[in-house]
């Protein structure tokens, strides 16, 4: 569920002194403003997010989190 993913991102953000990089690969064909906000909050705390959801050869440019300019492809 997207709420579980957001909770995980929030956990990383809350522990940004110890966690600085996160690899994301959800396979979620979705767009979530709450998910994108969680990513942006993490980035503001210095966390680097890397998205690897291109495994299915789909255009993920409209999916969360790949659509965020704050996420490295």
Which is nearest to 35 in space by CA: 59, 70, 2? 2
Inter-residue contact 48 to 72 (CB < 8 Å): yes
Write out the residue range of the structural domain in which residue 28 sits: 2-72
Q: Which residues face 24 on adjacent strands?
A: 51
Least confident of 13-17, 20-24, 47-51, 67-71: 67-71
Residue 5 in this model has a pLDDT that exceeds 80: yes
How many domains would you assign to the chain?
1
Model-level pTM greater than 0.95?
Answer: no
Give the model's pLDDT for residue 11: 96
Q: Look at residue 30 in the predicted model and tell me its pLDDT.
A: 73
Categorize the per-residue pLDDT at 32 as very low, low, confident or very high, splitting at 50, 70 and 90. Answer: confident
């Amino acid at each position: 569920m997207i709420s579980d993913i957001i909770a995980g991102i929030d956990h990383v953000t809350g522990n940004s002194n110890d966690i600085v990089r996160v690899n994301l690969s959800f396979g979620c064909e979705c767009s979530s403003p709450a998910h994108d906000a969680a990513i942006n909050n993490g980035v503001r705390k210095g966390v680097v997010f890397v998205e690897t959801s291109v495994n299915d050869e789909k255009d993920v440019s409209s999916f969360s989190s790949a659509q965020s300019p704050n996420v490295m492809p």
